[in-house]
Structure 1
Amino acid sequence: PPIRKLAKDLNVNNVTVVNAYHVLEQEGLVYKKMGSGTYVSPDLLAYAYEEQGISDNLGSLSFIEQGQIQIQKNTINFASATPMSELFPVDDFKQALNEVLDRDRGHAFDYQESQGYFPLREALIKYVQEYNIFANVESIQIISGAQQGIDIIAKALLNYDDAVIIESPSYTGAIASFKSRGAQIVDVKLLDDGIDIEDLDRKIRIFKPKFLYLMPNFQNPTGISYSRDKKDKIIDLCKQHGIYIVEDDYLSDLNFYSRDNTTLKSLDINNELVIYVKSFSKIFMPGLRLGFLIAPSVFYEHLLFAKHSSDISTSGLLQRALEIYFTRGTWKEHIEYMGEKYRDVFNLMLKNIEKHMPPEVDFIYPQGGVNFWFKLPEGISSRNLYEEAIKENVAIAPGNLFFVHQNDDRHFRLSIASVNDDEIERGIIIISNIVKDLIRGKNDKEVGKEVYRPIL
């Protein structure tokens, strides 16, 4: 209803209704039409039905990806990209927490300013310098994990029916965030060296997006890393068209064989083009839900408002502990440790794929990260593979989860984040045998088909 009418009906001030509508718009529940009024987002109901329409098994799989359901102890978990808990730096972080409590006493539990604990933001300036990113303390926004970072970017920048360009395939959480804002999601195919530049240029001209959402290093789910040439071209293209980039630095820390894991943010010399999103969940501890954004100054206030409306501020105790952890430089040792551990697991995974996976299955050779992306032969469904693998206590991620329209049925992702050496070999053998059976069954059906030919 119109602002004045609703204010009169509820016996409140007009400003109260304006503020309420603004909050609803920030949450993606309504959208405004200039000179017309405020409307409920029509995509919301359709999106809810779409989500409910996913089969029980695949719906559960999406929850596995978000870490929201338990996997049985005897399940080999290739579905989740969450690291093994035994790799977390528990003792170091416990020491940092105790030091914060001894030093700050009750103040450790105070609310922090929404932008984040100032000493932590100062420490992060030095941290990102290791990656050739040069920021100032005002450009850093502390977030409760990468997913919240994507959410508040969507709230701050997107209005109903704005276009966003993403990679195809892409991260499921980002797709969900953009859908919740009523955005028009435009996907561009990934090639072996990154996004298809020609198609990207064409779609930028057609759709004029608010921003691009990209993971240029060890992309999730494919593991693809962009070439340096392609990264430079993306920066030039976005400068030319005045388009912003949201860079999700998913796992550039786990670089095993890549010649170049340069971030797009490090190429954004004047901090005017790229909003950089970094989470510590994959490298340190998922339960911390800590990360940060580095944004151009034009977005400071918008992001701060979206952050405040989401959860006011991130845990002050955890921010203070993380500041000590970074100030001491302990994080460098841990990243080196994680790199060594996962390099061994990564190599073992490659060895078993090459040894056991049927030649009819294609896969991308990643150069780092924790994900492997596979393509099944024509006529073989990753949903069927998922269902059969679950019966054998092996969890995989069907590829359709990572596409906007969920209509791709031939790809699947395996992650090494939560599996040990023994599970890798056993799991790959089980998956390979299921794929062989599915191929054999498909061939048997084709042989058994009746063929009708014209009488000549």
Structure 2
Amino acid sequence: MTVASVSAPRSVPPLAARSRSIGGSPVRDILAVTARPEVINFAGGLPAPELFDRDGVAAAFRHVLEEAPAQALQYSTTEGEPALRERLAARTTARGLPTAADDLLVTTGSQQALSLLASALLDPGDTVLVEAPCYLAALQVFGLAGARILAVPGDADGPDPEALADLVLRERPKLLYTVPTFQNPTGRTLPAPRRAALASVAARHGLWIVEDDPYGELRYDGARVPWIAAHPDAHDRTVLLGSFSKVMAPGIRLGWLRAPAELRRACVVAKQAADLHTPTVNQLAAARYLAVEDLDAHVGRVASVYRERRDAMLAGLGAALPDGSQWNTPEGGMFLWARLPDAYDTTALLPQVVAQDVAYVPGAPFYAGDADRSTLRLCFVTQTPREIAEGLRRLERGLKG
């Protein structure tokens, strides 16, 4: 072979533009940096592992593997195991939203439900409206879909209905994404009148509402607020997402979506292309657990512990944060949101805080538009009250530099 006949190496084709433009999760990057056991980590969004019902979940898996191994280890339908959908439908109906099993699609975590909805609803360049701040992984999903993401101005009660109506008329968005109960990252809950007003705007102007509810059962104070999906104006235009991650175990990766028939069918097709179906054994084990265990009682026990941990964080936060800081008192969920005085940049401060063996998540990544760089998110559920108190002392030292 002559030298002239040897072709030069050719470069491989580039990654898709969306892969190059969307970064990874800053939260997961922080968790990797703070994985050392000595770090008191307020950055995670992880449920407390010592509160998992390990015996009940293990018994459910043993039962399905012993009693129905051929079914448990076999392919399943894309829509989800009928036994699980029946029990989920019953739970949803009991909470004020009449639901049949065929209204539901079981997903591999509610995060997959967001991806399926993006596939079914969004073309590149479509506009999506979100809260300010917004759940970070939702911003990633919509960004990967090529959507144009705009934040709806709001207040302590959530997105402002008049601002939403103006944006809908001006921008013609496909959907509004909201976590109305114990939101990630702020922990806030939209009151019933605000939910009704958002539903009314969607009905008047033709808008999908995606209502994500992974935290709603973790209530410590106050009365439950009905879903937006239960509002008469919104029943034909709201997708409700649910998950077992925060109330049973995130590792089984079980979520679901409730949607009008045409959109649900489109999501089924998208799921067939993504993973065919959610693991059968996990679905059957969850159905068995719901049949023989009292999930509500388990959630009540978890909520009682989380309430104590929230109160421990609230008790020490005033001393830990600089004078002039503000924070909320969430009625449930896993997160507390704080705003430091304007001079503070929580992203820039994070390295010196981590040097004190404590961590938080800066608020900036949660914003679709202009970020409030003085904000931060604290997760209070993973540490004991004693660990929380020590973590806040370290946070105080780190913020003082």
With normalisation by structure 2, the TM-score equals 0.92
The verdict on how the C-alpha distance between 1:204 and 1:339 changes in structure 2, with shifts beyond 3 A counting, is same
Letter in 1 for 2:343: G
Q: Is the 8 A contact 1:131 1:266 kept in 2?
A: no
Structure 1 runs of 4+ off > 4 angstroms?
40-43, 67-70
The verdict on how the C-alpha distance between 1:193 and 1:408 changes in structure 2, with shifts beyond 3 A counting, is closer
Pair 1:63 & 2:28 matched: yes
Once residues 122 and 26 of structure 2 are traced to their aligned partners in structure 1, the CA distance between those partners, rounded to angstroms, is: 28
In structure 2, list runs of 5 or more residues that go unmatched.
1-13
Once residues 306 and 218 of structure 1 are traced to their aligned partners in structure 2, the CA distance between those partners, rounded to angstroms, is: 29
2:7 maps to which residue?
none
1:220 maps to which residue?
184
Shift of 1:64: 4.9
Q: Is the 8 A contact 2:319 2:396 kept in 1?
A: no
2:55 maps to which residue?
91
Q: 2:101 aligns with which of 119, 137, 156?
A: 137
In structure 1, list runs of 5 or more residues that go unmatched.
1-39, 52-58, 439-456
Pair 1:333 & 2:307 matched: no
Once residues 348 and 157 of structure 2 are traced to their aligned partners in structure 1, the CA distance between those partners, rounded to angstroms, is: 30
Q: 2:286 aligns with which of 322, 331, 347?
A: 322
The verdict on how the C-alpha distance between 1:42 and 1:187 changes in structure 2, with shifts beyond 3 A counting, is farther
1:433 maps to which residue?
397
CA deviations over 1:220-272 (Å, ceiling 9, x no partner): 10111111110111111111112110000031111122344321122258841
Equivalences for residues 73-88 of structure 1 within 5 A = 73-88=37-52
With normalisation by structure 1, the TM-score equals 0.81
1:158 maps to which residue?
122
The verdict on how the C-alpha distance between 1:60 and 1:153 changes in structure 2, with shifts beyond 3 A counting, is closer
1:310 maps to which residue?
274
Shift of 1:359: 2.8
Identical-pair percentage:
27
The verdict on how the C-alpha distance between 1:46 and 1:106 changes in structure 2, with shifts beyond 3 A counting, is closer
Shift of 1:385: 2.3
Shift of 1:413: 0.4
Shift of 1:46: 5.4
Shift of 1:219: 0.8
Pair 1:44 & 2:18 matched: yes
Once residues 222 and 84 of structure 1 are traced to their aligned partners in structure 2, the CA distance between those partners, rounded to angstroms, is: 19
RCO (CA 8 Å, sep 6+): is it higher in 1 or 2? Answer: 2
Q: 1:390 aligns with which of 333, 354, 358?
A: 354
Q: 1:179 aligns with which of 138, 143, 146?
A: 143
Once residues 170 and 60 of structure 1 are traced to their aligned partners in structure 2, the CA distance between those partners, rounded to angstroms, is: 13
2:9 maps to which residue?
none
CA deviations over 1:147-188 (Å, ceiling 9, x no partner): 111111101110111111000110111001101111011111
Q: 2:327 aligns with which of 363, 388, 392?
A: 363
Aligned length: 388
Letter in 2 for 1:289: R
Equivalences for residues 295-306 of structure 1 within 5 A = 295-306=259-270
RMSD of aligned Cα (Å): 2.1
Equivalences for residues 436-447 of structure 1 within 5 A = 437=400
Q: Is the 8 A contact 1:228 1:260 kept in 2?
A: no
The verdict on how the C-alpha distance between 1:210 and 1:300 changes in structure 2, with shifts beyond 3 A counting, is same
Letter in 2 for 1:159: D
Q: Please state whether the residue corresponding to 2:300 is helix, strand or coil.
A: helix
Equivalences for residues 248-327 of structure 1 within 5 A = 248-268=212-232, 271-327=235-291
The verdict on how the C-alpha distance between 1:328 and 1:146 changes in structure 2, with shifts beyond 3 A counting, is same
1:244 maps to which residue?
208
Pair 1:422 & 2:386 matched: yes
Higher radius of gyration, 1 or 2: 1
Q: Please state whether the residue corresponding to 2:128 is helix, strand or coil.
A: strand
1:202 maps to which residue?
166
Q: 1:232 aligns with which of 193, 196, 205?
A: 196
Once residues 259 and 64 of structure 1 are traced to their aligned partners in structure 2, the CA distance between those partners, rounded to angstroms, is: 36
